[in-house]
Structure formats: C-alpha cells, structure tokens
C-alpha cells in the first residue's frame, strides 16, 4: 500500500508506522485517516509482523485534526460531516481492534485526536516533556469519536476534568491517570519501547491475539454465569490449541517454546548479516 502521509518500516517482526506530516505537526486529514486505517488493517493481517509501533516525525506526535480539513468540514453538509466523522471513528476502532499488539511512541504534543490515537493503542510510552490536551471544548466541539478510548484509558473521573476544562497536562500526569504506561527521557524513549517489544517476542502470537480480545470483550462485564462460562470456554479452547499445547510442553520439559527459538534464530541470522555488511 502506497502512502503519502505515513512511512512504514518493518524489521525483526516489528512494524513502525511513522506519521510523516511534520510540517503540520502530524495533524490528520481525510488522507491520513484512510491511510492509518488501511495500514493497520494490512499489518494486522501480516503473519510476519508481531507488533506495531505508532510514532511520529518532527517535533510533535499529533496535533489533532488538520485546520484546512476542519475548515472544509465546516462548510460541508450534515451528511458529509457524518461521513467524515465516521471515517475517523472507524480508523480509531481499527487501531484499537488490531489483532497485533500496538504501542504508541509519544514525543512532543498529543492533542485532541492525537490523544485518541494514544488511547486506542494497547500500550503507550511518552517522553518526559510530552504534552497532552483534550482541546475540543475551546473550539466549541466535543471529543466524541475518541471518547471510548480516552475514557477507557484514563477513567470517567479524569475524562470529566480534562474534557471539560481543556487543560494541558504533561507526561507525568498522563502516567498518573493511566494514559501512558511509562515515561522516559527523550533519548531513552526508544530503549523503553524496545524493552517492551523484546518481552512481546517471547510470547505466543496466537495467545496475544486472544488476550487482546479477552480484555476488550470482558472489561466492564458483570461477573455472572454468562461471563464465567465464557471465560472457561476461552481457556479450554486455548489449552487445546497448537500454541497452548506447545507452551505447556515446553514449560514441563524446561525448554523454550517453539516461537522463542524461532525468533532467536531469526535474530541471530539478522545479526550475522549485519556483521557481514
């Protein structure tokens, strides 16, 4: 898939999706929305990709909606506005429901829809000095399409404060309220992300996919007979799967499971190629 607003690099089973509209602080328009959705759909279905990192070129992660795009939308019909809003909502859902683990690598500012991108990812790591803001109410708007992900990440209490006041806050506060999972100096941000990617490479891709679905479908449900039966069925199914059987056998045999030895072999081969070059 050719993209005009994104740069995509794949190495060692990791895809890094760089937002590359640095001249407008990676603000998104209809093109970037469509490309993000298509890219995460494609990478989510790629068996050679184990994890996806969403990152940004330039001084900011994402400033939200592009001003020219917003100006055009203000002159559109109600039906055209609904269509554009639905495209944004579907893009966020695609990232949130991507079967591969997703990590937001945040530096600079993540405002409005940019915060939605962070919250839609499974994990987020921010540089010390990064800034966040749900700025919509200053413009007479509301953060509607991003709200399921932001509220899911920071809870209703923090969402009430920051959605209503449009206050800016820093990475330390983002960590405190749960928007990001850890913070690091700007020059240590990649190391923090790589540490998590290394942990992911020791896991079963099938189990990770099912664990993502488990969290999404169990969160918020009452613990009743239906949920008990559902979770029992899930563990029974995964135990009987190829990876479930392999993982248990490897543990009992005190050896590494197949997916770890395969990854280590690939990494060793790649390191050898680098040394030859």
| Residues acting as catalytic residues | 136
The Cα–Cα gap between 233 and 219 comes to 17
The CA-atom distances, in angstroms, between 33 and each of 39, 90, 95, 140, 155 are 10, 9, 11, 22, 26
250 exposure class (CB count in 10 Å sphere: 0-12, 13-18, 19+): middle
Place of tokens 């940019």: 114
Write the Ramachandran bin of 267: left for phi over 0, alpha for psi from -120 to 50, otherwise beta: alpha
Q: Number of C-alpha atoms within 13 angstroms, CB side, residue 119?
A: 29
In DSSP terms, which residues pair with 62 in a beta bridge? 110
């Amino acid at each position: 898939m050719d993209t005009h607003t994104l740069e995509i690099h794949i190495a060692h089973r990791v895809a890094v999706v760089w937002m590359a509209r640095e001249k407008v602080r990676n603000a998104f328009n209809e093109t970037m929305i469509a490309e993000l959705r298509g890219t995460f759909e494609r990478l989510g279905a790629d068996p050679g990709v184990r994890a996806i990192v969403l990152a940004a070129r330039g001084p900011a992660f994402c400033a939200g909606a592009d001003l020219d795009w917003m100006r055009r939308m203000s002159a559109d019909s109600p039906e055209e506005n609904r269509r554009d809003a639905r495209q944004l909502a579907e893009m966020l859902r695609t990232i949130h429901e991507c079967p591969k683990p997703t990590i937001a690598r945040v530096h600079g500012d993540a405002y409005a829809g940019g915060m939605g991108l962070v919250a839609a990812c499974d994990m987020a790591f921010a540089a010390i000095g990064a800034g966040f803001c749900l700025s919509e109410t200053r413009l007479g708007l509301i953060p509607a399409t991003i709200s399921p992900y932001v509220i899911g990440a920071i809870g209703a209490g923090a969402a009430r404060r920051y959605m209503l006041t449009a206050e800016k806050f820093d990475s330390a506060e983002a960590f405190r309220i749960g928007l990001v999972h850890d913070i690091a100096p700007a020059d240590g941000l990649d190391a923090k992300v790589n540490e998590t990617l290394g942990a992911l490479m020791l896991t079963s891709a099938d189990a990770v996919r099912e664990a993502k679905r488990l969290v999404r479908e169990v969160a918020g449900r009452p613990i009743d007979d239906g949920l008990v039966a559902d979770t029992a069925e899930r563990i029974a199914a995964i135990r009987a799967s190829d990876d479930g059987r392999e993982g248990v056998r490897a543990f009992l045999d005190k050896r590494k499971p197949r997916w770890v030895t395969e990854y280590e072999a690939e990494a060793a081969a790649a390191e050898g190629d680098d040394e030859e070059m």
